[in-house]
Amino acid sequence: QLQLVESGGGLVQPGGSLRLSCAASGFTLESYAIGWFRQAPGKEREGVSCISLSGGRTNYADAVKGRFTISRDNAKNTVYLQMGSLKPEDTAVYFCAASPYQRGSCHYIASLYDYWGQGTQVTVSS
């Protein structure tokens, strides 16, 4: 059974940091581009970041550029999203997803991703 599991969410004060993890079971992540998405209450899901198969290409939404860093450790079958300088508007459920269609680069377009995790809640509040 192919499964993605996110972890690392929680409550953090503005300006703080969190590291989210996306672990795969039932398949190897090295064959997939991985994206992070988020959905805040009452808002549509939005793309946050993605990383190519090799890890050599990354993309970030303007809202998180310079504050978030995506990385992957294929040996651990895990992708990470390091989030810093967090703001209240970063509050959302964060999802990771795997795309078998993107080879050389990546785009955080939801329709390109076949496998999704259940999400982890990130709340930024004082």
For the stretch 93-119, pLDDT in tens is 999 999 998 888 899 999 999 999 999
pLDDT computed for residue 2 by the predictor: 85
Q: Is the pLDDT at 72 greater than 90, yes or no?
A: yes
Q: In angstroms, what CA-CA distances link 65 with 61, 62, 69, 117, 126?
A: 6, 5, 8, 23, 23
Instruction: Give the pLDDT band (50/70/90) at residue 1.
Output: confident
Assign residue 10 a region: left if phi > 0, alpha if psi is -120 to 50, beta otherwise? left
Q: Report the chain's mean pLDDT, rounded to a whole number.
A: 95
User: Residue 93's beta-bridge partner residues?
Assistant: 39, 121
* Start-to-end Cα distance in the chain: 39
